[in-house]
Amino acid sequence: MKSSLLHLVFNLCLSLSAYAQSQPAADLIIRNARIWTVDPSHPEAEAVAVLGDRIVAVGSNQQVDAWRGSNTRAVDGEGKRLLPGFNDAHVHFVDGGAQLDNVELNDATSTREFARRIGERAAKTPKSEWLLGGDWDETKWTPAELPTKELIDSLTPETPVAVNRYDGHMILANSLALKLAGVTAQTPDPPGGVIVRDAKGNPTGALKDAAADLVYKVIPPMTHDQRRHAVERALAHAASLGVTSVQHMNPGFVDIAIYNELLDEGKLTTRIYAAPLITQVDDQVKIGIRRAFGGPYLRIGGVKAYADGSLGSATAYFFEAFTDQPTNHGLLSDEMHPISLMHDRMMRADAAGLQLCTHAIGDAGISAILDIYDEIEKNHGARDRRWRIEHAQHMAARDFDRFARLHVIASVQPYQAIDDGRWAESRIGHDRASRTYAFRTFLNHGVRLALGTDWNVAPLDPMLTLYGAVTRATLDGKNPNGWFPEQKLTIKEAIEAYTMGSAYAEFQEHEKGSITPGKLADMVLLSDDVLAIDPVKIRDVKVLKTWVGGKLVYDAARAGR
């Protein structure tokens, strides 16, 4: 009896020590943090352990300390808030990176300042090199009129200029750029585009949607080095903001090649899901890859389509005319001329197992895409497709149910709600504005939200997105309690949509989106507790540290902030 008990104890000790030896030590432990995991089974924790690129333990300091070994790096969270890294569901990553070096016009609050900055940049730009970027916003000027080439022609005699409106749906070209593009009074408006003209019919330089392509196609493409530099700028910017994943809408295949190059060199510090334009769908179909194909750092298999334009450029496509432009309903994009063209491309994409991500802003534009989605489901049968509508900005009341029934994801950009909210009502009236950026109505209908920014249309900073979603306080300060406050999200809902929601939108909810053992160790440590502070202060919160796959990719202390 006695000997067998001893035997048992002996065996138990042996197996315990074997267990202790078989458990490897963590590479990284973050302790003393206030962790909001976005994992409903275990929402709060104070420590997390990482082995390789994965989370292995989440819990109390004591529980996680069991993973500590002699080579474990330990980080003291100092009681700060730790969240899963943000996943921006809609960016234009290369444009954004390039814009960091381009002329900045978004905060120019007068046409004089607009012209001054362009003139200053042109003086420093080698002759005949294009002056691009800008992100101008005429609603910040008085009067809020579109810029004309006359504002800048005398400052840019030898520099072709094509500066874009911040929404990307309009550019201002100077006379030299129009000349190079061959745009004259005789040039007809292309389908899906408008050449803005003066009283005599001469182009003013403002080119809407497809009309901008007349100029874009004569701009020499970025060189490989320029493109790579733009990506590197974008990666560093994302890391500094706690953005650990992005979903790049309409990248060129050359952009994906740069991502792959950086991945090979171990320099890709943001995870990327790339959805090239549907106009190239047959190229993707040919390869035979399906949605979310690739590895943890780089995936493809989505296609991006455009149904219509934007509200700011008055090219979003509506059932009723704009309130301030009684003959204008907006424009279907050139991809929708005719609608059967879009229908056929989407059918081919779906048959190949590709994911559809469709820009649709006006209620009639959204409705037209839901019609096509509906038709695809009828033809190809129901399955887990995770169709997306990008922006889903102005919903017809009757379409919320259909949106939910088709399991469409609303990929939305809350910062644009507080930006457009300054003037949207004057353009579409109160009734339509009440279904604008209708985040709460979507949730009430059981629609999944994915959050993003549309960078470089809006800033990449997740704190501005969270601030916008939670406060709906327009940027002009005129709606401190929220513009259509019934559509506000709680901070927890907004964080969920920005992490798990975005991960779901790219079929990666089992890999990332929450701080859960087994998932990729993508995390961000914040200066202030966004779950506890006054929502007005969320926009001032800073990122202290960002980890991607357990690797520290940003450290504010080292960045000298």
Binding site for Zn ion (CB under 5 A): 249, 454
Q: For residue 1, count CB atoms less than 10 angstroms from its CB and return exposed for 0-12, middle for 13-18, buried for 19 or more.
A: exposed
Q: Can you tell me the distance from the alpha carbon of 312 to that of 378, in angstroms, rounded to the nearest whole number? A: 35
Contact of 322 with 307, CB cutoff 8 Å: no
Nearer to Zn ion, 454 or 522 (CB): 454
Query: In the complex, what is the shortest distance from the CB of residue 152 to Zn ion, in angstroms, rounded to a whole number?
Result: 26
Query: In the complex, what is the shortest distance from the CB of residue 337 to Zn ion, in angstroms, rounded to a whole number?
Result: 20
Nearer to Zn ion, 134 or 482 (CB): 134
Nearer to Zn ion, 458 or 495 (CB): 458
Query: In the complex, what is the shortest distance from the CB of residue 454 to Zn ion, in angstroms, rounded to a whole number?
Result: 4
Instruction: Return the percent helix, strand and coil in the chain, to nearest 5.
Output: 35, 20, 40
Q: Can you tell me the distance from the alpha carbon of 284 to that of 168, in angstroms, rounded to the nearest whole number? A: 25
Query: In the complex, what is the shortest distance from the CB of residue 314 to Zn ion, in angstroms, rounded to a whole number?
Result: 18
Query: In the complex, what is the shortest distance from the CB of residue 186 to Zn ion, in angstroms, rounded to a whole number?
Result: 32
Residue whose Cβ sits closest to Zn ion: 454
How far, CA to CA in Å, does 264 sit from each of 243, 261, 268, 547?
A: 21, 5, 8, 19
How far, CA to CA in Å, does 352 sit from each of 81, 245, 271, 275?
A: 42, 25, 24, 14
Contact of 334 with 190, CB cutoff 8 Å: yes
Reading the block at residue 58, the tokens are 């989440």
Nearer to Zn ion, 102 or 358 (CB): 358
Q: Can you tell me the distance from the alpha carbon of 434 to that of 432, in angstroms, rounded to the nearest whole number? A: 5
96's enclosing H/E stretch is helix 93-99
Query: In the complex, what is the shortest distance from the CB of residue 397 to Zn ion, in angstroms, rounded to a whole number?
Result: 25
Query: In the complex, what is the shortest distance from the CB of residue 97 to Zn ion, in angstroms, rounded to a whole number?
Result: 15
Query: In the complex, what is the shortest distance from the CB of residue 249 to Zn ion, in angstroms, rounded to a whole number?
Result: 5
Reading the block at residue 295, the tokens are 């590895």
How far, CA to CA in Å, does 221 sit from each of 113, 218, 277, 285, 550?
A: 29, 9, 17, 25, 36
Nearer to Zn ion, 360 or 523 (CB): 360
Nearer to Zn ion, 151 or 300 (CB): 300
**Closest residue by Cα to residue 346 from 391, 389, 315:** 389
- Write the CB contacts of 313 (distance below 8 Å, at least 6 apart in sequence): 165, 167, 169, 170, 208, 209
Nearer to Zn ion, 160 or 414 (CB): 414
Angle at 306 between CA 324 and CA 218, to 5 degrees: 95
Angle at 93 between CA 498 and CA 108, to 5 degrees: 95
Nearer to Zn ion, 55 or 412 (CB): 412
Query: In the complex, what is the shortest distance from the CB of residue 275 to Zn ion, in angstroms, rounded to a whole number?
Result: 10
Query: In the complex, what is the shortest distance from the CB of residue 414 to Zn ion, in angstroms, rounded to a whole number?
Result: 15
The residue whose two tokens read 């070994």 is 69
Nearer to Zn ion, 332 or 523 (CB): 332
Nearer to Zn ion, 37 or 393 (CB): 393
